A and B are shown apart, each in its own frame.
Chain A
Amino acid sequence: MIKLSSVSKKFATTVALHETDLCISGGKTTILIGPSGCGKSTILRLIVGLLEPTTGTIEIDGDRVSPANILPLRRRIGYVIQEGGLFAHLTARQNVLLMAKHLHQSAARMETRLRELCELTHFPENALLRYPVELSGGQRQRVSLMRALMLEPSVLLLDEPLGALDPMVRIRLQDELKEIFKRLQQTIVMVTHDMAEAAFFADCIVLLNEGRIVQSGTLDDLRIRPAAEFVRQFLRAQRSVEGL
């Protein structure tokens, strides 16, 4: 479980996130959605400690996020971003194993985990020796996901993981990702701006606008009992939702 209490984030002149309370349940998939600049990515970056909150506290499974314990906490969090953030000088395999090697895990343990992950993410084992530039966009995201899952984290954070992919690949990866989420049974927080994607994955949807949570709940909650006019507008702006 991830708990944000009175968390806000101000930059020099702008407020990225107004004071916010949010409880993200363990073992569920929570989707943060909203227009660009609504503060959804800021929340992920606060959780993983890339940003420090201006006010408030964040707890992950009861441990408060602070500079003192950020390293062990990060090793319990998987973090996947839109462009993958893969390291160009390392092969797919080296990218995935980087942290495990850094923590001196046994070779046998690493190999077992690597095979599990290839199987889980449908990544061909013979492509493990390729460098990021030699991989397709979809494959890069698979590697990025494997890297995030290598240390068996209890929390998985995904920041528009499929945002840069073309529609066909995206649809297939959505199916696979949902399957993976189901198998992992982990606390998952995913950021997207696509309502159809949110509806497809979410146990809980958190809709944000201009640095504030407008409404959180299931898709039906948002559709049937919109908390504000903005909710109605946002849903209407996403054509494909109508077909769901």
Chain B
Amino acid sequence: MKTTVVLLTVFTLGLVASAQRIVVGSKKFTESYVLGEIAKTTLQNAGFPVDLRQGMGGTIILWEALQRRDITLYPEYTGTIDEEILKTKQALSSDEMAALLRERGVGMTKELGFNNTYALVMRRDRAAKLALHTISDLRNHPALIVGLTHEFLDRKDGWVPLSARYGLQMRNVLGIDHALGYAALANGSIDVKDAYSTDARIAENDLIVLDDDLHFFPQYQAIFLYRLEMDPGAVAALGKLAGTLDEKRMTRLNAEAERTKNYALAASAYFGVERPPSMDLIGSIGRWTVRHLELVGASLFLGIIVGIPLGIRASRPGPVSNFILVTTGMIQTIPSLALLALLVPLPFFGISPVTAVFALFLYSLLPIVRNTATGLQDIPTAVRESAAALGLEPRAQLWKVFLPLASRTILAGVKTSAIIDVGTATLAALIGVGGLGEPIISGLNLNDYKTILQGAIPAALLALLVQFFFDGLDRVFVPKGLRLKQ
């Protein structure tokens, strides 16, 4: 238990140290990534140390992180502030909005210059065939398949009020990832999807934007939200970005990001730097792998020091044992994404490695607890009674006889946990903690298999490596007498 505290303290200290730097967050879509990179370079050029946490999640996660000072700033849109953050009934002027945000300790830059509103898009050929031009036209085609991002489905300025305003009664509405949605649109699996009006894909895939003839969508002017306590010099540097990005320019940067699969490179185009991309792939994979191993190592360590004692307790019959086994089993059934989402708003967790490690630790428990319990329960009665009859104290029976005899089963549980952790740790990237999930999430976002594989292949190799490593550990931890064939 003491070790757990020490370990968690180390993580917390790490967070405190990083809190003195400016931490830029971004949402999980191309434009936000690019704006994150632009903010990073701007502040670095102004002489501030900057950490960038890309693709942390949706609006709520970023806003929470900002409130909790996990991040210092992130790019946001005025429409989103109205609808999702301040939840005002009517549209605010930018002064009113800034005043309300100031009450919450948050500042807002001037508008960057482009309006990235939501839009509904269709393939040009399909729209032409059905003679669709406006959102109102959809009323006559309720059978079209609409594929929407989960965020748009749930937003207060999203699908439900939109359908109500336009009187749409679409029969087929699916939730689908933004990048995958474009692929689905291209191959005809869906007919209509939501998009951001500056999406590079609109031009690339020859899509048309359905005209918002009832003016449903509010203005989505891009701005940066920042903590008011941020250095005035940094605020000034950020302020200089105002009015420098019109829709055309932003669309081009987005297209550049999607073409090169490199957000930093796209951002450098904004600064007019013609620096060739120093795509240090090996270095990146190395960094991701090290971070991945840190996450797996820390969570597995916690899993072992908590799981084995729990397993020992659970090996004895009784209601406490059932409780332990049922609870650890239930944890395993929580989808990992949901677990992260549940942990992030809790005090002490937030957007941090602690959250990722804790989630992975919870997932590592079941195999360790269950195998420890089973390993101990499987010791024959004759052996149990012999140990007792010798006059060994219960504690000595456990340490000198039962645990060594169960070691092989216990180690198998640890091995299973380690492999599960290697796989699950890719999700840490969702909350900006890094690891091999980073290229996977970026790749999913860009719908780019090469980038996905940059994370997926090392993760698979890592799982194999872990397997070999534990096979080696068998020789160290499983007594020779148990490894001999009868």
Give A residues with C-beta under 8 Å from B. 45, 48-50, 71-75, 77, 79, 81-91, 98-99, 102, 131-134, 147, 151
- A88/B405 in contact, CB under 8 A: yes
Alpha-carbon distance between A172 and B121 when the two chains are bound, in angstroms: 93
Question: Do A50 and B385 contact each other (CB < 8 Å), given the known contacts A99-B391, A99-B392?
Answer: yes
Q: B386 in the interface, Cβ–Cβ < 8 Å?
A: yes
- What are 16 of the A-B contact pairs (CB < 8 Å)? A71-B393, A72-B391, A75-B390, A81-B386, A83-B382, A85-B382, A85-B386, A86-B383, A87-B401, A87-B405, A88-B383, A89-B479, A98-B390, A98-B400, A102-B400, A131-B481
Alpha-carbon distance between A98 and B404 when the two chains are bound, in angstroms: 14
Contact with A along B460-486 (1 / 0, CB 8 A): 000000000000000000011110111
Alpha-carbon distance between A164 and B290 when the two chains are bound, in angstroms: 56
Question: Do A89 and B404 contact each other (CB < 8 Å), given the known contacts A102-B396, A131-B481, A133-B484?
Answer: yes
- A85/B385 in contact, CB under 8 A: yes
Alpha-carbon distance between A77 and B391 when the two chains are bound, in angstroms: 9
Shortest A200–chain B CB gap in Å is 25
- A75/B386 in contact, CB under 8 A: no
- B385/A81 in contact, CB under 8 A: yes
- A88/B390 in contact, CB under 8 A: no
Q: B389 in the interface, Cβ–Cβ < 8 Å?
A: yes
Q: Which residue from chain B places its CB closest to the CB of A89 in the assembled complex?
A: B479
Question: Do A79 and B389 contact each other (CB < 8 Å), given the known contacts A85-B382, A87-B383, A87-B405?
Answer: yes
Q: B13 in the interface, Cβ–Cβ < 8 Å?
A: no
* A77, A81, A131, A133: the one within 8 Å of B382 (CB): A81
Chain B contacts for A72, CB-based, 8 A: 391
Chain A contacts for B400, CB-based, 8 A: 98, 102
- B382/A89 in contact, CB under 8 A: no
Alpha-carbon distance between A151 and B392 when the two chains are bound, in angstroms: 13
- B481/A132 in contact, CB under 8 A: yes
Alpha-carbon distance between A117 and B311 when the two chains are bound, in angstroms: 39
Alpha-carbon distance between A133 and B484 when the two chains are bound, in angstroms: 7
Give the most central of A50, A77, A84, A91: most B CB within 10 Å.
Answer: A50
Within residues 426 to 466 of chain B, which ones have a CB less than 8 A from any CB in chain A?
none
Q: B388 in the interface, Cβ–Cβ < 8 Å?
A: yes
Alpha-carbon distance between A45 and B382 when the two chains are bound, in angstroms: 12
- A147/B390 in contact, CB under 8 A: yes
Given contacts A77-B389, A87-B386, A134-B484, 17 further A-B contacts (CB under 8 A): A72-B391, A81-B385, A82-B382, A83-B380, A85-B383, A87-B401, A87-B405, A89-B401, A89-B480, A91-B481, A98-B392, A99-B390, A99-B391, A99-B392, A132-B481, A133-B486, A147-B390
Chain B contacts for A50, CB-based, 8 A: 385, 388-389
- A89/B391 in contact, CB under 8 A: no
- B387/A87 in contact, CB under 8 A: yes
Shortest B483–chain A CB gap in Å is 9
Alpha-carbon distance between A51 and B405 when the two chains are bound, in angstroms: 24
- B396/A89 in contact, CB under 8 A: no
Alpha-carbon distance between A147 and B390 when the two chains are bound, in angstroms: 9
Shortest B375–chain A CB gap in Å is 12
Question: Do A75 and B391 contact each other (CB < 8 Å), given the known contacts A131-B481, A131-B484?
Answer: yes
- B481/A133 in contact, CB under 8 A: yes
- B392/A102 in contact, CB under 8 A: yes
Shortest A127–chain B CB gap in Å is 14
Question: Do A89 and B385 contact each other (CB < 8 Å), given the known contacts A71-B391, A75-B391, A98-B400?
Answer: no
Alpha-carbon distance between A102 and B395 when the two chains are bound, in angstroms: 12
Shortest A143–chain B CB gap in Å is 12
Q: Which residue from chain B places its CB closest to the CB of A70 in the assembled complex?
A: B391
Alpha-carbon distance between A87 and B397 when the two chains are bound, in angstroms: 11
Alpha-carbon distance between A134 and B390 when the two chains are bound, in angstroms: 23
Q: Which residue from chain B places its CB closest to the CB of A82 in the assembled complex?
A: B382
Chain B contacts for A90, CB-based, 8 A: 479, 481
Alpha-carbon distance between A99 and B389 when the two chains are bound, in angstroms: 11
Which are the 10 A-B pairs with shortest beta-carbon distances?
Answer: A85-B386, A74-B391, A89-B479, A131-B481, A75-B391, A79-B389, A89-B404, A89-B481, A85-B382, A48-B389
Alpha-carbon distance between A86 and B479 when the two chains are bound, in angstroms: 14
Q: Which residue from chain B places its CB closest to the CB of A50 in the assembled complex?
A: B385
Shortest A183–chain B CB gap in Å is 22
Alpha-carbon distance between A47 and B391 when the two chains are bound, in angstroms: 13
Shortest A74–chain B CB gap in Å is 4
Alpha-carbon distance between A142 and B88 when the two chains are bound, in angstroms: 86
Alpha-carbon distance between A167 and B389 when the two chains are bound, in angstroms: 28
Question: Do A89 and B482 contact each other (CB < 8 Å), given the known contacts A81-B382, A102-B396?
Answer: yes
Shortest B98–chain A CB gap in Å is 70
Alpha-carbon distance between A82 and B405 when the two chains are bound, in angstroms: 20
Alpha-carbon distance between A132 and B389 when the two chains are bound, in angstroms: 19
Shortest A191–chain B CB gap in Å is 14
Shortest B71–chain A CB gap in Å is 52
Q: Which residue from chain B places its CB closest to the CB of A92 in the assembled complex?
A: B481
Shortest B245–chain A CB gap in Å is 68
Question: Do A74 and B486 contact each other (CB < 8 Å), given the known contacts A50-B385, A88-B405?
Answer: no
* B380, B389, B485: the one within 8 Å of A133 (CB): B485
Alpha-carbon distance between A79 and B391 when the two chains are bound, in angstroms: 10
Alpha-carbon distance between A81 and B389 when the two chains are bound, in angstroms: 10
Chain B contacts for A84, CB-based, 8 A: 382
- A88/B389 in contact, CB under 8 A: no
Alpha-carbon distance between A88 and B135 when the two chains are bound, in angstroms: 76
Alpha-carbon distance between A74 and B479 when the two chains are bound, in angstroms: 27
- B482/A79 in contact, CB under 8 A: no
* A86, A88, A99: the one within 8 Å of B482 (CB): A88
Alpha-carbon distance between A46 and B486 when the two chains are bound, in angstroms: 33
Chain A contacts for B380, CB-based, 8 A: 83
Chain A contacts for B479, CB-based, 8 A: 89-90
Alpha-carbon distance between A166 and B207 when the two chains are bound, in angstroms: 86
Chain A contacts for B484, CB-based, 8 A: 131, 133-134
Chain A contacts for B396, CB-based, 8 A: 102
Shortest B276–chain A CB gap in Å is 61
Alpha-carbon distance between A198 and B405 when the two chains are bound, in angstroms: 35
Shortest A115–chain B CB gap in Å is 21
Chain A contacts for B401, CB-based, 8 A: 87, 89
Alpha-carbon distance between A88 and B482 when the two chains are bound, in angstroms: 6
Within residues 389 to 425 of chain B, which ones have a CB less than 8 A from any CB in chain A?
389-393, 396, 400-401, 404-405, 407
Give the most central of B383, B385, B400, B481: most A CB within 10 Å.
Answer: B481
Alpha-carbon distance between A45 and B388 when the two chains are bound, in angstroms: 11
